Structure formats: structure tokens, C-alpha cells
Structure 1
Amino acid sequence: MWIGNETLEGQWTTLEPLEETHIEPLKKAVSEGESWKLWFASVPTPEAMPDYVNRAMQDAREGNIAYAVRLKSSGEIVGTTRYYHVDEANRRAMIGYTWYSDSVKRTPVNTECKYLLLSHLFEGANAIAVEFRTHFFNQTSRAAIERLGAKQDGILRHHQIMKDGSFRDTVVYSIIASEWPAVKANLLSKLRD
């Protein structure tokens, strides 16, 4: 497997490859804030969590690694994130399917998670590029991706049909290997603040 399916550890968080034991803690995490009610987001409901985790575990066998996000201070599971559309031949992957409980929003958690994922990809797997995608109307996600230092590549218009039947315009961002040193310095600076 091109990207190793291993635990990634930072100062505030540990990213653990998703397992069935994460289902109940993730149900609790997703219930805080009810993010699944956002029409432009793809966040599972508590009831859908078993299917969500089992599907992610199946995808991991194909190199698409999903993680539960654990706070080191409390041991609590507070969300999830993953690599998907992993393309070993072209040394590219996407990072997404990220959501957190409300209690850790506007904390170092997302910054550190992205730092761990990007470091693992660029430094551990010698990636050429990483891509992020989000709904055009998900301004919170777009701002977070831009704060990482990713650059907007474009917008895929009417890219997907949403659950409610509306069309999703998908904003595509990327970070390429030559940009990683500056992005890394930026993320480390944010984590020190």
C-alpha cells in the first residue's frame, strides 16, 4: 500500500485508522452540533455511522485510509478525516470527509490533523500533490482549506447531485510538493500560536 495505514500522532491529536470500535464514539461526536443537518455537507447521521465506518474500512483495503480523531488530553473521539481517491501511479491523493464535534472547532485540532496528513503524504509517501474538494456554498470549509495554504484550481460546475436533488458545484484546491515546505512552515507557525 502506497500510503501506510498507521496511527499518526501529534501534540493534541492522534489519528487512528477507523475500526468498528470507533462507531459509538463517533455517534456521540457527530451528535454534538448536528453537522449532518447542513444541506451542503456530507456528514453522516448518528444512525448512519455503522455503515459510514464499515464502508470506510472497506475503502482502506484499497488504500483510501480513514481516521478517527482522538484528543490526547481527554482520550475523546471528536471526528474523522481521510485520504480518498488515492492514486499511487501518479502519487496523488485527496484529503476530505472531515468533520468534527462542535467542541473542537476553532481549536488546533483541524490544523494539526491536516499537518499530520500532509506530512505523512509528502514526507512519508513522496506525494506529488494533494487535493481538497468542497461544496461551493461551504464557506467554512473553503476558508479552512485556504488557511492551510492550498490554492484554488477551479470549480467543477454541477459536479454532483446532492441528497436533496440539488446540484453541487465543487471547488477544487491543491497543494503540490514544491509548495509543501512553505505550507508546513505556515501550519507549524499556527500550531505554535
Structure 2
Amino acid sequence: MWPSPRKLCGTRLSLLPLSHGHAAQLAQATLAEPHLPEGCRLPVRHDMQGEISYLLERQADGKALTYVVQASTAQLLGWTGFSAIDRAHKKLEVGNTWLATKDDGLFTEMMVMLLTYGFDIAKANTIQFRAHADNAAHRSRLTALGAQLDGILRGDQIDRTGAPQDISIYSLLRTEWAKTNAQLLAQLQ
């Protein structure tokens, strides 16, 4: 499997491969307010086992890789990972992220861990992100990570009301990673 699940350790949090054993704590994390990124889709608390089963099936099929986010206090804060994996083009998409905190530093550290794993361990050529085009706060977070706007897919998704939603696509390239990583690590100091 590319990339393969493994524990990723940071300064204030760890990313652990998702399992059904995380369900109860993750259900609790959905009750916390606020969440990052703004407007993220929270999993259905009363069907956390079903949510986890779906993500693990995608992982078993090699389509995704999901991590739970664990604070240094051992509290689970949410999940993140690679929501789309393209082996042929060595491309990963970070997505399906929710974090039960408003701490920008934790969000940045979590993203640095994923990007480091994606570029340095999995050797991805490109890592992409998606954001609702009208979500200025999330788009600003992606820009702060060093991601570049590639374009906007008009009417790409349907929202809860049935209205078409524009989606912004951002990316980082492996050739940009060394410089971007140094800047992000300096922010975290």
C-alpha cells in the first residue's frame, strides 16, 4: 500500500492510524466547539462506527489513509489524512479533516506532519487540498501552509440545500517542499 499507515509524532500531537477503538473518543470530540477548518464536515456522532468502517474500507482499497489526531494529553481531537491517493501520478489529497480546537498552531503542526510524511516518506510529487470557494478562512489557512491556488471548479459539489458549490483546488509540489517546510517549522517555534 502506498502510502502505508504508521504513527506520526509531533511536538504537541500525534497522528495514529484510525481504528474502531477510537470511536467513543471521536464521538465526544464532535461535541466540542469550535472546529478547524471552519465549516468542516463533522462525522455523524451517533454513527461513528459506520463512519470509521467507511474510512477503513477506503483505506483497505488503497483509496485513502486516515489518521486520528491525538493531543499530548492523549485526548482525541479529530481526524485527518489523505482522502484521495493517486499512485500512478504520486499525488495525494489532504482532506476529510476536522479538529476539535481553534488552535492554529495545532492545525499547522498536524498539516506539517502530513506534508512531511507525504513528501519525505511516501515521496509524493504533488499534495493537493480542496476548500469551498466561499470559505475564506479555510482558503487563508491553506495559503499560510504555502499551498498555491491551482483553480476553482465551478459547481463541483452539491451542498446540503442542493445548491451547486464551487471548490478551490490548492497544491504543493515536492520541489517547493524544502523551502515551505523550513518556513512552517519556523512558525511552529
TM > 0.5 fold call? yes
User: Residue 142 of structure 2 aligns with which residue?
Assistant: 145
Shift of residue 107, structure 1, vs aligned partner = 4.0
User: Residue 191 of structure 1 aligns with which residue?
Assistant: 188
Structure 2 unaligned blocks of 5 or more: none
- The alignment status of 1:173 with 2:170, answered yes or no, reads yes
User: Residue 65 of structure 1 aligns with which residue?
Assistant: 65
Aligned partner of residue 31 in structure 1, secondary structure: coil
| Matched positions, count | 187
- Matching of residues 122-133 of structure 1 within 5 Å: 122-133=119-130
Distance 1:50 1:34, change over 3 A: farther
Shift of residue 109, structure 1, vs aligned partner = 1.2
User: Residue 90 of structure 1 aligns with which residue?
Assistant: 89
What TM-score comes out, normalization by structure 1 length? 0.91
Shift of residue 34, structure 1, vs aligned partner = 6.7
User: Residue 110 of structure 1 aligns with which residue?
Assistant: 107
Aligned partner of residue 49 in structure 1, secondary structure: helix
Decide whether the 8 Å contact of 1:41 with 1:135 is kept in 2.
no
Decide whether the 8 Å contact of 2:40 with 2:98 is kept in 1.
no
Distance 1:34 1:187, change over 3 A: closer
Decide whether the 8 Å contact of 1:159 with 1:169 is kept in 2.
yes
Mapped partners of 1:20, 1:77: distance in 2 = 13
Mapped partners of 1:139, 1:95: distance in 2 = 18
Aligned partner of residue 83 in structure 2, secondary structure: strand
Distance 1:53 1:34, change over 3 A: farther
Aligned partner of residue 114 in structure 2, secondary structure: helix
* Amino acid paired to 1:100: L
Mapped partners of 1:130, 1:52: distance in 2 = 24
Decide whether the 8 Å contact of 1:12 with 1:108 is kept in 2.
no
* Amino acid paired to 1:126: K
Aligned partner of residue 97 in structure 1, secondary structure: coil
Structure 1 unaligned blocks of 5 or more: none
What TM-score comes out, normalization by structure 2 length? 0.93
Q: Deviations over 1:100-126 (max 9, x none)?
A: 11xx32242111111111111111111
User: Residue 51 of structure 1 aligns with which residue?
Assistant: 50
Mapped partners of 1:113, 1:14: distance in 2 = 8
Aligned partner of residue 95 in structure 2, secondary structure: strand
Mapped partners of 2:130, 2:104: distance in 1 = 22
Shift of residue 22, structure 1, vs aligned partner = 1.1
